[in-house]
Structure 1
Amino acid sequence: MSNSAGGEQPIIIKKKKGGHGGHHGGAWKVAYADFVTAMMAFFLLLWLLNVTTSDQRKGIADYFAPVSVSRETSGSGGILGGQTITAPGAQISSSSPVSADVPSSGPPGQQAEESENPDPDALASTQRSGNSELTGQGPADTPKDPASQRPNENRLEYQQRLEQMAKQLGVPGQKMGEKLSDFAERLNEASQTLQIQKTEAQQFQQAASEIRQAIQSIPELEPLAQSLMIDQTPDGLRIQIVDQDRISMFPGGSAQMYGPTRALMGQLAKALSKLPNRLSISGHTDSTPFTNGGGRDNWDLSSERANATRRALIAGGIPESRIQDVVGRADRDLLVPDQPNSPRNRRISMILLRDGVAPSN
């Protein structure tokens, strides 16, 4: 189109930047896929540790054993391999003559044919010999793992692949196998610990059920059913016998048990004797002080009642060697802190300790 001046009017093209993909990209998907893959590999390793035997785990650790690799690069992977053509042995002088006359054992035509169609047996033997020189092992014990040299790679490529594997694990190549083996051992120990804790929890739950059933089956122990408290703590199975308003285990200021209390201790001993765990016993009182004095206080009373409980359990069949400790806590560990004179603070606590756990009280 012509303008008034007789010239052509310039054409202006406006381009708009379309879409908003530049702000949102898909890079996060790659990172998320890597994370999911790593978690899958981790849980697969946990599963393998749970279903394999110790010999199988040792085999897995040996599978990732490090291989000693030469750091030399002179002549590595080349045709000459660091040797001269004319004389056997390493080339020690740059002035050694190099000749293209390679000795032959047949006509030139036959040599060319043999080079184009090599003998498969001879090729395999050469590859095995190369692996033996690299790893220091014979053909029979060449490692069949990702850290071994592949038949189709030369020495330089093999070294670079091992260094790449070490970088992915974040450890030096020579320590890669040690790290994997140590990691497998730690996971195995953690798996065994979890299995032991699971077994103990089941045993504790069964013992608690037997104790409750025994109390319900004896009419004279029915009043003490509400006084029994059983729960699992980090230390183990805790069994507490708590005083109520009109139901007490001991007479006031005394460590002599009432008849129902002694019968209850016998049932507890019968149930706890089925387990080998150690026992920790502690006595507790409320904050009411002694009125008559006489040199005794709540510390003495709580210790005496804890010892009376120990003697009752031993009489019921608990070996004395299973008693870990017997302590009196007086009113320093109240069950009802906001009511220091509450009868519920007067109690006997017995903890069936977990294996390898020291009492916290």
Structure 2
Amino acid sequence: MADGPVIIRRKRVFAAEGHHGGAWKVAYADFVTAMMAFFMLMWLLNATTEEQRKGLADFFDPSIPISAVSGGGTDLLQGDSVFSSDTLASDNHGGLGETMEFEGELFQALSLSLKEAVESETVRLTRSSEGIVIDLLDTSEEPVFPVGKAVTTRRLDEVISRVAPMLATSDRMIKIVGHTDALRFADGDYSNWELSADRANAARRLAIKKGVPERAFYEVAGQADRLPISDDVAAPQNRRISIILLNPESIPLNAH
């Protein structure tokens, strides 16, 4: 064999570059999430009404009682979406935004007037789908009515006296509902149905005496023991009077 050129082949070995790690990805994801939250906050501030923002603030305020029993919507905006003031058309009762703004002022005025009673848990002030609800709760020490009777007491007189000026000037129609505990009467001719209705009417008559126009009342009813707010059917707070300042949207046009 003839001698030829010697060919030497060399293999190139490429060393893999070191791994950079994924910490930057986590940091970037956190940054994007924070920016999304910021823009969502800016959008919500622009899209919600003052009343809806107040509802959000009240939800996280432990000093303001919010009850699912007498409440309407279960979300932070009391049943309204952030689009409510835009998507719900104005009707003969006035624009929704105007109604909600006025309701916020009225709610604040009632809160200030009943501050001590609310803090002592003898009065509960809430919002519902019907309107603003003032619950006068019985206590063992000082009941709203004597047990088994529809005779007004000093405590009922005091609370009605505090709220009567606002009830008279709010231009809201009023609904009064009486509630009892589940204890039965020995006399079968008189029941919790009659008692709760008689107490609601007694509260209405007292409110009229304190200056609330009779035409302001839309409904007076007795619910007996059908809507307890305590699991204990004999609990005193189940015996209560509910005064509801009705939203105009919840009243038929021909009722005005």
**Other structure's SS at 1:232 match:** strand
**2:163 is matched with which residue: 250, 268, 281?**
268
Q: How does 1:171-320 map to 2 (within 5 A)?
A: 189=86, 193=96, 196-212=99-115, 226=120, 228-235=122-129, 236-293=131-188, 295-320=189-214
Distance 2:220 2:84 in 1: 37
Q: What's 1:10 paired with?
A: 9
Compute the TM-score of the two structures, normalised by the length of structure 2: 0.61
2:239 matches 1:342: no
AA at the equivalent of 1:340: V
AA at the equivalent of 2:177: S
Compute the TM-score of the two structures, normalised by the length of structure 1: 0.45
AA at the equivalent of 1:197: M
1:71-103 alpha-carbon deviations (Å, 9 max, x no partner): xxxxxxxxxxxxxxxxxxxxxxxxxxxxxxxxx
AA at the equivalent of 1:341: A
Distance 1:208 1:10, change over 3 A: same
Distance 1:332 1:320 in 2: 27
Distance 1:195 1:18 in 2: 66
Between the aligned residues of both structures, percent identity stands at: 26
Please report how far the alpha carbon of residue 352 of structure 1 lies from its aligned counterpart in structure 2 after TM superposition.
Answer: 2.0
Distance 2:119 2:187 in 1: 33
Distance 1:286 1:355, change over 3 A: same
Distance 1:195 1:10, change over 3 A: farther
Contact 2:136–2:241, Cα closer than 8 Å, also in 1: yes
**Other structure's SS at 1:13 match:** coil
Contact 1:282–1:348, Cα closer than 8 Å, also in 2: yes
Q: Which has the larger radius of gyration?
A: 1
Greater relative contact order: 1 or 2 (C-alpha under 8 angstroms, separation 6 or more)?
A: 2
Contact 1:211–1:271, Cα closer than 8 Å, also in 2: no
1:228-271 alpha-carbon deviations (Å, 9 max, x no partner): 31322233322122222232232332212134433432332123
AA at the equivalent of 1:200: E
AA at the equivalent of 1:335: I
**Other structure's SS at 1:245 match:** coil
Please report how far the alpha carbon of residue 200 of structure 1 lies from its aligned counterpart in structure 2 after TM superposition.
Answer: 1.7
Contact 1:279–1:325, Cα closer than 8 Å, also in 2: yes
AA at the equivalent of 2:10: I
**Other structure's SS at 1:356 match:** helix
Q: What's 1:151 paired with?
A: none
Please report how far the alpha carbon of residue 348 of structure 1 lies from its aligned counterpart in structure 2 after TM superposition.
Answer: 0.7
Distance 2:108 2:246 in 1: 14
Please report how far the alpha carbon of residue 300 of structure 1 lies from its aligned counterpart in structure 2 after TM superposition.
Answer: 1.0
Question: Alignment RMSD, CA only?
Answer: 4.0
Distance 1:18 1:353, change over 3 A: farther
Distance 1:13 1:331, change over 3 A: same
Distance 2:225 2:133 in 1: 19
Contact 1:207–1:272, Cα closer than 8 Å, also in 2: no
Please report how far the alpha carbon of residue 196 of structure 1 lies from its aligned counterpart in structure 2 after TM superposition.
Answer: 4.2
What are the ranges of 5 or more consecutive residues in structure 1 without an aligned counterpart? 51-185, 216-223
**Other structure's SS at 1:308 match:** helix
Distance 1:259 1:229 in 2: 15
Corresponding residue pairs, total: 197
Distance 1:285 1:187 in 2: 36
